[in-house]
Amino acid sequence: MEPLITNKEGGVFFITLNRPDFLNAINRDLLSALSSALHEADAPDVRAVVIKGMGRAFCAGQDLKEASAGKLDYEKHLELYNEVFLQIRRLEKPVIAGVHGVAAGAGMSLALAADLRLLSYSASFITAFARIGLAPDTGITATLPRLVGMGKAFELLALSPEINAVQALELGLANRLVSDDEFEETLIRWSTEIANGPTLVYGLVKRALNSNRATTLEEAVALEAELQGIAGGSRDHQEGLAAFLEGRKPRFQGR
Ligand code: LHQ
């Protein structure tokens, strides 16, 4: 069975983790397939990316059977995880994690690397690292405190409580929460809507939020001006202005 399935519908590139018998735990094959899929997602006709899991979970993190076989050099292995994390963050188009069932360890890191999270009521998050005596990885120390603040991030990373879907929404770990029945349809509808939006600007929003250069107010406004220079020269901005003046809905193309 392929560890990962991809398909494209309209401008949306769907990436489905496909090891349902192991709650989509990540082994080497899945990790490298994920990296290849994210390369593919860089194509100009892809305007939004969805990452989701097959079966009853989003992803249970590193495959612990592979880890316990004793052949993994963790520091070296993390280079592969880090590459995937950076691919998601550097992809200048919206990445949506569709989380139903559990997202644990590096599976939670993966969900938090995305720009938006749609959850179903069956979703839950467990950082899980400390539970098995590991430090947090795959970018979660950069994403989690930005979403929930330092104090909560420490609690979640150190004490590893299970966070249910409602708690996740309250904490800011979810953008939207829907019933299990509505989940698939909402994921398709929402990602398609997003893919039809001004995706060039979405990419610039991502670049600005990613930036660690903006450490002072002066740097923040300078970066905003640089990015606005790019957006201001785009076709989508022309279309947005025209649509406003003509009193109609804009038809964005992502360029
Ligand atoms: C699994 C896994 C799994 C293999 C469920 N692996 N089979 C670490 C090391 C090195 C470098 C890179 O980075 C990392 C980062 C990490 O990701 S560390 C954190 C790793 N993940 C975990 O510690 C979570 C382990 N899993 C669990 O705690 C539970 O399975 C959860 C709470 C996720 C779900 O519990 P249940 O709903 O009760 O399901 P289950 O435990 O019965 O699992 C179903 C099957 O999936 C079962 O197999 P079986 O053959 O018995 O049906 C599990 O063995 C398998 N599975 N997680 N990570």
For the segment 111-122, what is each residue's pLDDT rounded down to a tens digit?
999 999 999 999
Domain assignments of the chain as residue spans, ordered by start: 4-195, 199-246
Distance 67 CA to ligand 1 centre (A): 11
**pLDDT at position 211, please?**
85
163, pLDDT greater than 90: yes
The residue to mutate among 62, 68, 138, having the most atoms of ligand 1 within 8 angstroms of its beta carbon, is 62
Contact 208, 227 (CB under 8 A): yes
Distance 151 CA to ligand 1 centre (A): 26
**pLDDT at position 214, please?**
60
Atom of ligand 1 nearest to the CA of 134: 18
Using CA atoms, how far apart are residues 20 and 176, in angstroms rounded to an integer? 24
Distance 29 CA to ligand 1 centre (A): 17
- Dmax over Cα atoms in the chain, in whole Å? 65
For residue 71, give every residue at least 6 positions away whose Cβ sits within 8 Å of its Cβ, in sequence order, or none.
none
The residue to mutate among 22, 73, 127, 138, having the most atoms of ligand 1 within 8 angstroms of its beta carbon, is 22
Cα 68 to the center of its chain, rounded Å: 27
Distance 25 CA to ligand 1 centre (A): 6
Q: List Cβ<8 Å contacts ≥24 apart for 230-237.
A: 230/200, 230/204, 231/200, 231/201, 231/204, 234/200, 234/201, 236/198, 236/199, 236/200, 236/201, 237/198, 237/201
215, pLDDT greater than 80: no
35, pLDDT greater than 80: yes
The partner residues of 95 in beta bridges, in order of sequence, read 49
Torsion over CA: 165, 110, 51, 11 (sign): positive
Distance 22 CA to ligand 1 centre (A): 7
- Mean pLDDT, to the nearest integer, of 141-165? 95
**pLDDT at position 218, please?**
72
The string of pLDDT tens digits covering residues 77-94 is 999 999 999 999 999 999
Distance 24 CA to ligand 1 centre (A): 9
pTM for this prediction: 0.94
- Comparing CA positions, the residue from 59, 65, 76, 58 lying closest to residue 132 is 65
Distance 243 CA to ligand 1 centre (A): 50
Query: In this structure, which residue's CA is closest to atom 7 in ligand 1?
Result: 22
The string of pLDDT tens digits covering residues 169-178 is 999 999 999 9
Distance 53 CA to ligand 1 centre (A): 14
Query: Which CATH superfamily groups domain 199-246?
Result: Lyase 2-enoyl-coa Hydratase, Chain  A, domain 2 (1.10.12.10)
Using CA atoms, how far apart are residues 36 and 53, in angstroms rounded to an integer? 17
Atom of ligand 1 nearest to the CA of 106: 17
213, pLDDT greater than 70: no
What fold characterizes domain 4-195?
2-enoyl-CoA Hydratase; Chain A, domain 1 (3.90.226)
- Mean pLDDT, to the nearest integer, of 213-217? 65
Using CA atoms, how far apart are residues 100 and 92, in angstroms rounded to an integer? 25
Using CA atoms, how far apart are residues 244 and 248, in angstroms rounded to an integer? 6
What's the chain's average pLDDT? 93
Q: Which amino acid is at 242?
A: A
Query: In this structure, which residue's CA is closest to atom 57 in ligand 1?
Result: 60
**Angle between the N-to-C axes of helices 106-113 and 74-90, in degrees from 0 to 180, rounded to the nearest 10:** 20
The residue to mutate among 28, 63, 64, 77, having the most atoms of ligand 1 within 8 angstroms of its beta carbon, is 64
- Residue 90 has, within 13 A of its CA and on its CB side, a CA count of 10
- Comparing CA positions, the residue from 89, 87, 75 lying closest to residue 146 is 89
Contact 94, 49 (CB under 8 A): yes
231, pLDDT greater than 90: no
| Residues with C-beta less than 6 Å from any ligand 1 atom | 22-23, 25, 60-65, 67, 72, 74, 77-78, 81, 102, 104-106, 126, 128-129, 131-132, 134, 137
The string of pLDDT tens digits covering residues 48-70 is 999 999 999 999 999 999 998 88
